[in-house]
Chains A and B, each alone.
Chain A
Amino acid sequence: MNIDLSRRGFLKLAGAGVAATSLGAMGFGGAEAAELAHVRAFKLTQTTETRNTCPYCSVACGVIIYGRADEAGKRRVVHIEGDADHPVNRGTLCPKGSALKDFVNAETRLTEPMIRRAGSDRFEPISWDEALDKIARALKDDRDANLLAANEAGVPVNRWSTAGFLAASATTNETAWLTYKVVRSMGIVGFDNQARV
């Protein structure tokens, strides 16, 4: 077992050792058990290492994420460190990358769909199904009402400008491509991403 001893923990153990000398005559068994009882296990044991990329700036440092199942059996992030094999960052991380775990596990992560009704001063939960149906209905109705199928000259323009979509800056290419397909197929022209600003 790999014991993670802080300096303070080490001193405490040394104290226990002094006490143990007088206990020695009567045997060591109790002291050993006491020692094990207050030494924390190496925190990365039984974790799964996954290769990932820092989501912040586009230096795109390689990171290794250590995950472990929580009490409910859900795999959670317990540690993140720089990937020493990565040719760009070679294991280093900046003040932002070093604190990534607390970004993933932030208290202000969203965990359930919410709706804020017109004029209300609060969010209230809504089910995924209800939220998605509501969105789909709103899209269909607005598109049917406002899609400009042809301009005055009769040229088909398939242009829908009363709906808009702002895409992200840190989603994957694959998310971007699927988003592109969906937005374009509907004729939305107010399409933009974070690169604009």
Chain B
Amino acid sequence: MTNSWTDIKNTDLVIVMGGNAAEAHPCGFKWVTEAKHHRGAKLIVVDPRFTRTASVSDYYAPIRPGTDITFLMGMIRWMIENDKVQWSYVKAFTNASFLVKEEFGWSDGLFTGYDEEKRDYDRSSWEYQLGEDGFALTDPTLQHPRCVWNLLKAHVDAYTPEMVERVCGTPKERFLKIAEMIGECSSPTKTMTSMYALGWTQHSKGSQNIRGMAMLQLILGNIGVPGGGMNALRGHSNIQGLTDIGLMSNLIPGYLNIPTEKEPDWETYMKSRQFKPLLPGQTSYWQNYSKFMVSFQKSMWGDAATAENDWAYHYLPKLDVPAYDMLRMFELMDQGKVNLYFCQGFNPLLALSNRGKNTSALSKLKLLVVMDPLQTETARFWENHGAFNDVDPSAIQTEVIELPTSCFAEDEGALVNSGRWLQWHWAAAEPPGQAKHDTWIMAQIFLRVRELYAAEGGAFPDPILNLTWPYADPSTPMPDELAREMNGTALADVTDPADPTKVLTAAGKQVKSFAELRDDGSTACGCWIYSGCFNEDGNNMARRDNSDPSGLGVHSNWAWSWPLNRRTLYNRASADLDGKPWDPERALLSWNGERWEGFDVPDIAPTAKPGEVMPFIMNPEGVSRLFSRGMMRDGPFPTHMEPFESPVQNVFNDRMRGNPVARMFESDAATLGTSDEFPFVATSYRLTEHFHYWTKHNKVNAAMQPEFFVEISEELAAEKGIQRGGKVRVWSKRGEVWAKALVTKRIKPLTCDGKTVHVVGIPLHWGFVGAAKKGWGPNSLTPAVGDANIETPEFKAFLVNIEPATGEALA
């Protein structure tokens, strides 16, 4: 989230699209209710199903799964055509005025530079025109034909309300009504907030869905302001933290990058990370990259990371592919190229796309290690459960070790909520039986491997032997010790760059914040964005003062948020070019003539003059991007792409299937179905009584929604002869499931490109272990293709067929 849960009460309009907050995030959704009740805010829901959120909305529109970009580009087109643009914001705080290279263009659904063979773009034309001084050329009048604004206008021109209806199946009058409601938020004193979740990410172009809304929000002037923002509701309780800390193939904590083979040395690695400002006087905060990176290396390898050995640069792995994400790993596993696999609190057999492939891949491992508080299907993938897990144990040679861990109630530490708050919690009980904390288990594994290397030698042991391990009891690193490492420590006195005689933080003390990190080896810091969470003031994440003098839900002294305890990202943009709040009623920050002051930590240098330094300090431009240059693989603007399995062809290019640059392994391409065999669009979702595959271990939740069902319209039920409560078989190119049919008015057939499109809803919860009845998850049916930028699998739009199953009706 750019903002916070409590900030939602400041909004005038909520749009829930790509999520179902009332159902999936009920206690956060109460802030929507607050906004409706106290501010008269309205709620819009756009979703293939009339969800529980839709049932409390002011206005609802249906949409075909996987067509959100068309809807959003249509919205931007309508705003421009009807002059619903927050012009002062757009001109000053976005790259609307930047000139783009002459070669850049778009036609037939593709941008310039497409290489069909490589399934990739040459993105060199997706860039600004630069002057001789190295700064970007701009036209503040927005008249130049190559300025971003005019290119955007041209790009969205095709997305008329008629086109939206044709592609999305959203009735034109519903689209127009929503456009009018959203258009009102172009006023500087009205804001809209976007609440989204996996309904937007789980597509082969999920990142572009989100960009589409971010662009709309920028055009309305709604980023950085109270009651505005792009608010990813996020899934599990620490999905944010695990991402921040970079537990991904290509990440280093704080959104730094693991090097690639093209960066054979430190100098080359840093050369592409200079982040020189693209306009004079801009902050371009990533210019401090080397400070964060060196401090990370010092945190990992201490004295073994020196200036002479380039801070132990070669201790880091270097990638030959963009990432060994889990889709790639399961592909390699299925090819027999992976021997050992660890699952720490993760149940990929049910959570990863295409279960059949998951089973086949896991069966080729030598050793699978599962660490979990609960039984999981993954740990028992080899166990026969009839139709629910139809395997032959004797044919599976994988050895499985299952290690019992503590759960939240037995553990201490911080979790990061969607609003980036790091909230500390304490252990209330002891783990059951012989269960252990994950930290103890990881320490045991590491210490034993280190011992083996110390005793026997072996392949490149240096990064293992030299890993810092400064814990009082090496076998049991404590949460506060680990948190302090992430905050960072001064290894030598940290002095003021303006006055080297002045010591800011003495050697051995915790740094106050990342502003004190250095690239000369004098500081160590595990995760720079968390710096400040546990400094000499103590554990700031454990703070419990819930007061809110702002009245805006800022709660600055409750827990701690990254970065720097800032609660709203880009909050400098809540004030105009002179530093006055756009809306005096919702004043978060203002410029007092000398410095920024207000209720939140300014997202800009405290003395940065408002007319000179622009609010988007992480970008070398200083402004936000309506045109994202070459930063995304599938385009600098979002363009309509069909799901890989779709009942209709791409209206711009009938040769194009799915996202033209999404990675597709051959084995997965062979398992894609077409609409003649699989005519119905399926989508997955979650019920409010359930939390993924966890609550099926809980009798209360298992009983509240006891049985696996699929949701279909009355029209589809009539067409296929399916009875209300009858048993159905649903199958895709990849697998099949049997379920009870929930025949509902909540899903209606749509008309898209002249065809009737039926949607089948498939909730997730069921498996073959736990307290619930046995069932299947949607991943028995879904394809293993990920988003082109971040490889999140396409769970939200795929093709199935459905028929009544033999046997008695269950109801």
Contact = CB atoms under 8 A, between A and B. Distances in A.
Interface of A: 48, 50-62, 65-67, 74-77, 80, 85-90, 92-97, 99-100, 102-104, 106-121, 123, 126, 128, 131-140, 142-144, 146-147, 149, 151, 153, 155-197
A151 B398 contact: no
Contact of B27 (A52, A97, A176): A97
B701 A95 contact: yes
B414 interface: yes
Contacts of B253: 177, 180
Given A94-B688, A106-B374, A55 B407 contact: yes
Contacts of B704: 95
B261 A136 contact: no
A163 to B, nearest CB: 4
Nearest to B444: A132
A182 B374 contact: no
Nearest to B337: A162
Given A108-B770, A191-B247, A177 B526 contact: yes
B314 A151 contact: no
Interface in B667-707: 688-691, 694-695, 697-701, 704
B507 interface: no
A161 B343 CA distance: 16
B329 A113 contact: no
Contacts of B402: 110, 113-116, 123
A48 B348 CA distance: 36
Contacts of A88: 5-6, 27-28, 417
B88 interface: no
B238 A172 contact: yes
A48 B429 CA distance: 10
A136 B320 CA distance: 27
Q: Which 5 A-B pairs have the closest CB atoms?
A: A111-B433, A172-B413, A168-B345, A110-B404, A169-B236
Contacts of B342: 163-166
Contacts of A97: 27
B301 to A, nearest CB: 8
A164 B793 CA distance: 19
Given A161-B332, A166-B343, A197-B792, A190 B697 contact: no
Contacts of A139: 340, 445, 449
B640 interface: no
Contact of B553 (A87, A172, A176, A183): A87
Contacts of B328: 190
Contact of B700 (A76, A99, A167): A99
B414 A108 contact: no
Interface stretch (B155-163, B480-488, B580-588, B724-732): B480-488
Interface of A is mostly: mixed
B239 A58 contact: yes
B713 to A, nearest CB: 26
Contacts of B555: 87
A155 B259 CA distance: 12
A146 B100 CA distance: 46
24 contacts: A53-B237, A56-B236, A58-B417, A92-B27, A92-B30, A96-B701, A106-B374, A118-B396, A121-B382, A138-B367, A142-B339, A147-B459, A161-B324, A163-B338, A164-B324, A166-B343, A171-B344, A172-B411, A179-B344, A191-B248, A192-B247, A194-B242, A196-B325, A196-B327
Nearest to B351: A197
Contacts of B697: 103, 106-109
Nearest to B265: A155
Contacts of A183: 247
Interface in B772-803: 790-793, 795
B271 interface: no
Interface residues of B, number: 167
Contacts of A54: 237, 408
A58 B24 contact: no
Given A80-B409, A95-B701, 13 more contacts: A51-B425, A58-B233, A59-B27, A60-B418, A66-B428, A108-B697, A118-B397, A132-B441, A149-B460, A166-B348, A180-B253, A185-B300, A195-B235
Interface string B171-199: 00000000000000000000000000000
A103 B694 contact: yes
B430 A186 contact: no
B698 A103 contact: yes
B111 interface: no
A34 to B, nearest CB: 34
Given A167-B346, A190-B324, A191-B249, A52 B317 contact: no
B316 A158 contact: yes
B112 interface: no
B415 interface: yes
B393 A121 contact: yes
Contacts of A93: 27
A9 B231 CA distance: 49
A182 B394 CA distance: 34
A58 B28 CA distance: 9
Contacts of B372: 110
B407 A108 contact: no
B400 A116 contact: yes
Interface string B423-438: 1011111101111111
B530 interface: yes
A6 B699 CA distance: 24
B369 to A, nearest CB: 6
Given A75-B428, A179-B442, A96 B691 contact: yes
B791 to A, nearest CB: 7
B344 A166 contact: yes
Contacts of A75: 428-430
B142 interface: no
Contacts of B416: 58, 60, 173
B546 interface: yes
Nearest to A182: B446
B659 to A, nearest CB: 17
Contacts of A116: 382, 399-402
Contacts of B383: 121
Contacts of B467: 181-182, 185
Contacts of A151: 261, 318, 320
A73 to B, nearest CB: 10
A158 B27 contact: no
Interface in B259-308: 261, 264, 300
Contact of B429 (A57, A77, A126, A156): A77
Contact of A155 (B24, B264, B791): B264
A52 to B, nearest CB: 4
Interface in B331-374: 332-333, 337-346, 348, 351-353, 366-367, 369, 372-374
A128 to B, nearest CB: 7
Contact of B453 (A52, A94, A140, A175): A140
